[in-house]
Structure 1
Amino acid sequence: MDKRFDVIIVGSGAGGGTLARHLAPSGKSILILERGDWLKREAKNWDVSAVFEQNRYITPDTWYDRDGRPFQPQVHYYVGGASKMFGAALYRLRQQDFGELRHYDGISPAWPIQYEELEPYYAKAERMYHVHGLRGRDPTEPPASGPYPCPPVSNEPRIQQLFDDLTAAGYHPFPAPCAVMMDERNMAYSTCIRCQTCDGFPCLVHAKSDAEVVAVRPALEFPNVTLLRNATALKLRTDTAGKAVTEVVAEVGGEEEVFRGDIVVVSCGAANTAKLLLMSANDKHPNGLANGSDQVGRNYIFHNSQAVLAISREPNPTIFQKTLALNDFYFGMDGFDYPMGNIQMIGKSLGPMYRGEKPIETALLPMGVLDKLADHTVDFWLTTEDLPDPENRVTVDKSGNLTLSYTPNNQVPKQKLYDKLKSMLNHLGMHPDHLIPRNIYMKTEIPIAGCAHQAGTCRFGTDPKTSVLDVNCKAHEIDNLYVVDTSFFVSIGAVNPSLTAIANAIRVGDHLLQRLS
């Protein structure tokens, strides 16, 4: 293999994979280094016990919390990155999320770019990822230059009833934006079989629009793009002046290999991107690469989220449940003038999931009882914004052990959102006062292990003293180093961050195309 490339991209997820696809037609030589392999297409992709009880697709890595306790992070190393297991919900941040927002516990800071600058890239991202949705029903919806590229995924009967009940009660439910590949001629039947398994499962039939399917594989159709799997980046080396990355050192097949690139883009996920930069310390960057501001690893954010089950009076035989969302309380409600967040559906509960979540409590219960409970559940995902805090951070010791220190904040709005949903149950055909918490991150009592929405460890900005990256996501201190995963986020809003990462990768891609030309 030729080990010199025009562009080296470390990581193939929503950021790195999308960037590779955007740059592929340029003819420039591009290397994608991915620490994982192809995720095997097998029957166990949809096996609830394998996924939820055995943690089949989760990395065996060990991280540590601020007290030194080890835990297994809920992260996935495959071609396509975390998107292989994401719920395919691709929301835009609200327009106000790009400005300074006052929350109950403090300030969510303004971004160095405005929504209007990212809007055209949101549109391109929605097209690339086949997002299904409908403009005009969400009262918090930001301005858009056009409709969604695909019509909304239709509600199944029980969810349609929920949609109607919410509307009758004066709320504004809207079709959740879903990144799936469906047969538009008949939404009741599709190449996507609309299984329960978008949330937390890989898609056996490649109908979920993850980064492998819609970005990496199409990029590899270009002869100038190379994917090297099972290649873990260990460190980045710079020139003697410390101004440019000259080499990427990776472990491939148990051996160290060195790759050289004119431009190096890191997209390992917020925690691992920070780790790579910190592990790349040298004489010119003694605290870690691009870390003269001491901001690398700081301001880790990952949402105040909670999964809850409501017990429906009527059975809920829904197969694909993620078709409805509600933002009526995103910016607060009467009597509470602070942002609260987003309510959306999550994947339908199945009996074996309870066994995986609560193995001791359910050990003596027959599976038939758990299945009967699942037959009547309606599953909600509540998201409240957590606020950047410099002491919520990633650090790495000399042995490469990653410590994730995190103290929750902004908990009152999270409780307010939960209480509001609970108060609505009686009007929605549910048993009142019955909301059951779900721990969708199995076999762990450490909440930070559920790091699906991690962001913020290399924030971008205009001031090198308070940020790691400039507005083009290039490191302030390194001329050819970029970051395109969610590490660049200044704040996280209260919706899934994937679409924003995808849109930004395309935006940075346009900048790189100009630079490469």
Structure 2
Amino acid sequence: MAETADIVIIGSGVGGASLAHSLAPSGLHIVILERGEHLTDTPEARDDVAIFQKGFYRSSEEWLGTDGESFLPGNYYYVGGNSKFFGAVMYRYRREDFSARPHMDGASPGWPMSYDELSPWYDRAEAIFRVRGSTQQDPTEPAHAKPYAYSPVPDEPAIAAVRKRLEKVGIHPSSLPLAIDLDTWLGRAPTGWDAFPNTGEGKIDAEVGPLKSALDYPNVRMVTGARVTRLDINESGRRVVAAVYIKDGVEQRISAGRFAVAAGAVQSAALLLRSTSTAHPTGLGNSSDQLGRNFMNHNTTAMLAIDPFRRNSSVYQKTIAFNDFYNENNEHGFPLGNVQLLGHITGNILKANFPVPAPGWLTSLIARHAYGWFLTSEDLPNPQSRVTVRDDRIVMHWIRSNMRAHKALIAKTRAVMRKAGFPIVLTHTFGRKTTSHQCGTARMDSDPKTSVVDLDCRSHDVENLYITDASVLPTSAAVNPALTVSALAIKAGASIARQA
């Protein structure tokens, strides 16, 4: 006999965990199905060779490009999802990101809601992720109802010096909003957190923050090692009746009054595309033909700013950013993007990412004088940029957009670094394998003809189906999406609880 619940949540990443956190006080019987297992603490968790050179934690799952080539996408399948490895940056989308506006190579359509409508849900998301930050340093920071509850993560001396150098050349560096308990993180080992797995409490990821909060309630339960293969629909095509999943090699079913898919923008789209039926021949909830379309994946570049005369003594590094080129107030007249520090790049990390084979002594020498930056520009939605499923394999067709703006951001940032006293500036622009900010495959809007879900993340076609991850984002903006995903999921949870 199939198990039953009031709501089944598929995925325990930022979206799924935040939804569970939002719903837990309602008393509803909630079951979370998670494909992965808990990350356990081992020596590899802080070993830069194991992580970056040997790929100790990387999934072996391959996706297929429309060019016919397979690739490892860099997704992770653990309790807490990709947030176990994220850089813990919890930006709010800027106020301007919610409005339609032109870009250098296209236009952003804006959102069906305003920043002010989402702002109270940002407050709740920041609280559960215990975000450290400041509302006073970044000119693009939108209004908050109240200051951050925690002070910014402190700059190390080397980074404080970089901040001053940037200020002297007219830049407005600001503290990154971070979900990091610094003392706890460094108490495990003196490393950065960006791309390092969180096996303790130092990084407030989806597991440590909202999921732990949800599981404190007796009405919330999680099943790990549960890979959901399809959702079954009733004869009318209006209600999901069961989730079918494989655990320990055995197919199982669970029925519920409501279902929420939060497996990530690519995996959620793939699951729903696989869940075909007579009523939904092109995928579950896909009458608009938008499911899997409008895939966005930030245009990103890593930049090394090198000062041969000063050593970078930092351990974690990732505390500042600047948004001076985020909006259109530049000589190009268009938004360009965000610039933020990467975690401290060690010689071993640099060796793993060096464009040609290089000895460790050389990469270590470069790393001692280098500061890594991460440049992000908005990728614009395009219905031809999409995720499909072929013979049960995920097929990715990503059409990059807005690259002229990204190249302009690179040029302006390079000029800033050189003016600030970094004579050597190296860059590497990432391709489709970097899928950390994937979004957009089940876009949100009030019009069911052009979108997949409504403003409460509920399917237009299936009355008891919700999607609560980055799939629903109408635009990618140019900052990290995790906080926005959490805010929308908490908002969706409140809507579900009101109906219960």
Residue identity in the other structure for 2:473: F
Give the aligned partner of residue 313 of structure 2: 317
Q: Secondary structure at the match of 1:192?
A: helix
Query: Contact 1:118 / 1:503 at 8 angstroms: preserved in 2?
Result: yes
Q: Secondary structure at the match of 1:402?
A: strand
Matches within 5 A, 1:59-458: 59-182=59-182, 190-193=183-186, 195-312=190-307, 313-358=309-354, 360-362=356-358, 365=359, 367-397=360-390, 399-431=391-423, 434-438=424-428, 447-458=431-442
Matches within 5 A, 1:25-36: 25-36=25-36
Distance in 2 between residues matched to 1:382 and 1:509, nearest whole Å: 33
Instruction: Report the Cα offset of residue 416 of structure 1.
Output: 0.8
Q: Secondary structure at the match of 1:436?
A: strand
Change in CA separation of 1:347 and 1:410 when aligned onto 2, cut-off 3 Å: same
Give the aligned partner of residue 41 of structure 1: 41
Distance in 2 between residues matched to 1:368 and 1:323, nearest whole Å: 27
Query: Contact 1:15 / 1:502 at 8 angstroms: preserved in 2?
Result: yes
Query: Contact 2:418 / 2:425 at 8 angstroms: preserved in 1?
Result: no
Distance in 2 between residues matched to 1:267 and 1:429, nearest whole Å: 45
Distance in 2 between residues matched to 1:281 and 1:14, nearest whole Å: 27
Instruction: Report the Cα offset of residue 430 of structure 1.
Output: 1.3
Q: Secondary structure at the match of 2:186?
A: coil
**How many residues were matched structurally?**
497
Residue identity in the other structure for 1:332: E
Instruction: Report the Cα offset of residue 467 of structure 1.
Output: 0.2
Deviations 1:114-168 (CA, angstroms, capped at 9, x unpaired): 1111101111111110111111211111111010110011111111111112222
Distance in 1 between residues matched to 2:217 and 2:284, nearest whole Å: 32
Contiguous gaps of at least 5 residues in structure 1: 183-189, 442-446
Distance in 2 between residues matched to 1:252 and 1:67, nearest whole Å: 33
Give the aligned partner of residue 487 of structure 1: 471
Instruction: Report the Cα offset of residue 336 of structure 1.
Output: 0.7
Distance in 2 between residues matched to 1:426 and 1:276, nearest whole Å: 47
Distance in 2 between residues matched to 1:345 and 1:361, nearest whole Å: 25
Residue identity in the other structure for 2:425: L
Q: Secondary structure at the match of 2:184?
A: coil
Query: Contact 2:296 / 2:438 at 8 angstroms: preserved in 1?
Result: yes
Structure 1 runs, 4 residues or longer, greater than 6 Å off: none
Instruction: Report the Cα offset of residue 277 of structure 1.
Output: 0.5
Query: Contact 1:36 / 1:77 at 8 angstroms: preserved in 2?
Result: yes
Q: Secondary structure at the match of 2:357?
A: coil
Distance in 1 between residues matched to 2:418 and 2:106, nearest whole Å: 33
Distance in 1 between residues matched to 2:344 and 2:421, nearest whole Å: 17
Residue identity in the other structure for 2:15: G
Instruction: Report the Cα offset of residue 199 of structure 1.
Output: 1.2
Query: Structure 1 vs Structure 2: percent identity of aligned residues?
Result: 38
Q: Secondary structure at the match of 2:256?
A: strand
Distance in 2 between residues matched to 1:334 and 1:494, nearest whole Å: 16
Query: Contact 2:192 / 2:317 at 8 angstroms: preserved in 1?
Result: no
What is the aligned-residue RMSD (CA, Å)? 1.4
Instruction: Report the Cα offset of residue 170 of structure 1.
Output: 2.0
Residue identity in the other structure for 2:337: G
Deviations 1:430-474 (CA, angstroms, capped at 9, x unpaired): 12xx222247x7xxxxx2111000000000101111000011110
Q: Secondary structure at the match of 1:503?
A: helix
TM-score under structure 2 length normalisation: 0.97
Give the aligned partner of residue 499 of structure 1: 483
Instruction: Report the Cα offset of residue 427 of structure 1.
Output: 3.1
Pick which of 293-302 and 45-54 moved more: 45-54
Query: Contact 2:276 / 2:284 at 8 angstroms: preserved in 1?
Result: yes
Pick which of 347-356 and 480-489 moved more: 347-356
